[in-house]
Chains A and B, each alone.
Chain A
């Protein structure tokens, strides 16, 4: 009898949730769909925004990565989607929504196969093959744009920036902002293109058209002590001294012991302290500095000392601003004033303190070694500016990418359709199950133009038929037909209407979407441990950590 008596084996902790098998894959796919549905309506030039309230803070955004991040997705499989959106954001900055949609659509297409009993690995193989072909073709299709003259290059960059801004709140002023973004990126060192050197400052008030670019650095007036107003607020070609030093009367050492016998000596101690700070100030003045900036506080004594000598000073300058001042003016941040060398001073064409809205800003303009730029954004509401900043960020990233790689493809869903056509054609030449799967991949690609059309309130079925027909004619002619949201027919040659995107964006989107889809398809079991009490306490709300999960191939 003993062979019938199965002893209970406790393998996992109580409360652990396990699910496995085919059903698991299908359920993961469903979860991914639900998440992708949220961002779906943000795609394209007529994409809508989402308003998400987290605690007291309200965010209005059109940016796929931002929305997914704020949704606080906890489902383990769906989180993969959030991660690819983020990686797309980090890598190329734009195209986060399309990546997410593409991944979800690939999974949706895979679902019937899984349900019919095709092994997930075969689907994965098929997708990988299709991706390989698609990427190869993408290279072939992308257009090398001539950029012999700087003017042509600039034009291309402008077009790409405009395409990126198309779907955002700033769409109506995209001309203006694309100019701003391109000019800002052009200021950077073309070899490095460090994103951190473009500062974006937000000032509420005014209209968006009042935003402006400073070819140098701008930062908000720092906290100032009495006497600050007596300092001059405008310099031409000033000498700028950058410090990481506290200029304040303070106890130099906490645990010093000095013994004095006579009351007269008491005065000497006091004098010594004053002498210390005066010595520092004196060195700075003697070295000929006209503007003194410090990361650490500059006290009232120093403020007045400088005011008496017509020197401008600002303490508690934020780190990144000081860094940008350093880059722009060619100065070096000093941590001591001993042996202060005028050679470490930076300079700029014009320094000025100006009123922007309700704030006062310090502007350093016409910097000689200007390798940095600052965009001062204006707008009606806080949320508006924040969204504008995110949009500009996307545009800056795109322009940066474009700066190096000079290959572009046409947007508006044209390239996806063309790849789809090619893959369908190819599928017919293979035998076996792969044929179906490559076909599904081709079908999934169509989600991009379809969604753009849907979001624009167009009849997507009609548009898709028109587009497929155009592309099926083959050759150069129909290649760049995409969704046209303005015209009556709904389709147009997006290449000639200058909806351009760097091919790198598409390449990265295709890769990461396929990778994500494959990763989700290959999971057949989830083991979810019960939350330990400690864990919930440790993690503050609003920063969702990845819940403990086990993955097994």
Chain B
């Protein structure tokens, strides 16, 4: 920190722990911030696109995860640098809002910062640069809207949705099965979507993973899967036309919440107490039985005594069902949650086509599947895969796909992927730059260059020559006035992304450009960093 001296040349302390604070000012601060952020972006850039590579991340506990999802990578990298952390949050906010495109947003921010660095070296005022970026961003967004196309999500058995899901899945480890997984994701989302309100509550889609089998075995259960089994091994494994009784009270004699103790003075009393307890169990089972229920799901446990009685009365039961599962089951089966036995009525029971216990592989693990629920408002995707890592990555990929489909239901406008949208915007921004007479012109031009960075990066990751392929695509876009020309990553022989059916949502692209610009602007506005020196 800057030291102040009094007239005798004695330095004096102005700030707390002054000696241990580090301060960077002006150009030094910009550069260090930009370089830190760029380092993060560079790490991610090789993950972009259908042929992007995965990263292996080892957590402090030794857990290994392999992923291609930008937001997960930056999160697990545990970045310390304050500016670099901004990029982490950028990626996560894209994840929270859109769910997809988390890598692209960081790469774009990195490209923008790279451009800003050159502009700074030329002596531009950082705020002029950020003003220019802002104006360019507006132009790009407007252009995106003009080139976007509305698609009919209903047509051709939701073909458009499946294609969009495939685009999202294309870059992941499960890309081989993208069509199947895409279909599963589309069906799942449509099952729970409220098309009138254009709203999808993603809480209703449960994604359950189970190691074993292969990715092809992944399936959609139009109901609920819970990681529990029947409380007694002799209970029937399947209940058809199930009438489900959802209990949030234990199969135990009731206890008052008030602290209490029981004093027994004679053997007779003891017997009485025992009988009383027995009576409770009998009454409870009877109440459940009388209501017509043929299966009971309980949020709490019950002891062997009750378990035995339930078996005798041929009432299959499940214990320790988690609260969220109870809620999901209630939504799906139309059951009301019952807080005590006295309140059980036939109307409060939920109905499902079948409740069955399924077993996986050779291991002794069982799960309970509730299918054909009365009001199917909840679905489960059961993901299988060879190893925990694959299953985890598949789960993240499906989540991305689901998010894309949800966004399309909310807003059915799409742009074409493969870098074509970015290229089209870059061309438009470049044209606009020439109309601006002030210093911002350079910044706007740089923004266009940064946008071109995305297709470059895509081509690079696919093993194509980035400069040739981008130059070709760009000139064709200009000549044919066709904003759909992009990079042929999959080498299908055409660069028209409409033919390749690479769909991306408009909202995701818009968000990417806006968020990246926002963060870059923020980083450019910092001219002073005060931090503890020790880190």
Give A residues with C-beta under 8 Å from B. Answer: 19, 23, 26-27, 30-31, 33-35, 37-38, 41, 46, 48-53, 55, 58, 60, 62, 71-75, 78, 169, 172, 204-209, 225-230, 249-254, 256, 258, 263-264, 266-267, 269-270, 272-274, 300-301, 304-305, 307-308, 355, 357-358, 379-384, 387, 456-457, 544
Contact = CB atoms under 8 A, between A and B. Distances in A.
A46 B337 contact: no
A51 B6 contact: no
Interface string B6-35: 111000111111000000000001000100
Nearest to B335: A230
Contact of A380 (B256, B276, B518): B518
Given A206-B511, A207-B511, A31 B12 contact: yes
Given A30-B4, A226-B324, A230-B331, A169 B526 contact: no
5 contacts: A26-B6, A51-B531, A53-B532, A71-B15, A269-B260
B159 interface: no
Contact of A381 (B17, B93, B259): B93
B93 A227 contact: no
B499 interface: no
A51 B530 contact: yes
B327 interface: yes
Contacts of A41: 527-528
B272 interface: yes
A381 B526 contact: no
B519 A384 contact: yes
A229 to B, nearest CB: 5
A250 B258 CA distance: 7
B125 A46 contact: yes
B300 to A, nearest CB: 11
A447 B510 CA distance: 42
Contacts of B2: 34, 37
A33 B3 CA distance: 11
A357 B89 CA distance: 14
B126 interface: yes
Given A34-B14, A72-B16, A73-B15, A206 B93 contact: yes
A73 B16 contact: yes
A125 B326 CA distance: 77
A169 B518 CA distance: 9
B254 interface: yes
Nearest to B126: A48
Given A38-B530, A51-B29, A229-B330, 12 more contacts: A26-B7, A33-B4, A50-B527, A52-B531, A72-B17, A75-B15, A207-B515, A230-B331, A300-B339, A304-B337, A381-B90, A384-B86
Interface in B323-353: 323-324, 326-327, 330-331, 336-340
Contact of B519 (A49, A380, A456): A380
B507 to A, nearest CB: 10
Contact of B531 (A53, A71, A382): A53
B521 interface: yes
B236 interface: no
Given A27-B6, A75-B13, A270-B254, A51 B519 contact: no
Interface string B411-424: 00000000000000
A50 B530 contact: yes
Interface residues of B, number: 73
B240 interface: no
B163 interface: no
A225 B337 CA distance: 11
Contacts of B436: none
Given A380-B89, A544-B16, A226 B4 contact: no
Among B15, B93, B96, B340, which residue has the most Cβ atoms of chain A within 10 A? B93
A48 B526 contact: yes
B301 to A, nearest CB: 16
The 9 closest A-B pairs by CB, nearest first: A27-B6, A48-B527, A358-B96, A205-B97, A53-B531, A72-B16, A381-B89, A207-B514, A75-B14
Nearest to A259: B263
Contacts of A305: 339
B299 interface: yes
B257 A249 contact: yes
B358 interface: no
A274 B258 CA distance: 12
Contact of B7 (A27, A208, A457): A27
B7 A228 contact: no
B199 interface: yes
B43 to A, nearest CB: 18
B527 A208 contact: no
A58 B16 contact: no
B289 interface: no
B56 to A, nearest CB: 27
A223 B58 CA distance: 33
Contacts of B89: 204, 380-383
A250 B518 CA distance: 50
Among A34, A48, A51, A355, which residue has the most Cβ atoms of chain B within 10 A? A51
B176 interface: no
A38 B23 CA distance: 10
A250 B6 CA distance: 67
A50 B4 contact: no
Contact of A384 (B8, B125, B134, B518): B518
A422 B12 CA distance: 38
B131 A78 contact: no
B532 A204 contact: no
Contacts of B125: 46, 456-457
Contacts of A384: 86, 518-519, 522
A237 B72 CA distance: 43
B518 A226 contact: no
Interface in B368-416: none
B228 interface: no
B428 interface: no
A227 B337 contact: yes
B14 A273 contact: no
Given A274-B340, A379-B518, A383-B86, A35 B97 contact: no
Contacts of B340: 274
Contacts of A272: 256
A228 B323 CA distance: 11
Given A26-B7, A37-B2, A273-B258, A304 B248 contact: yes
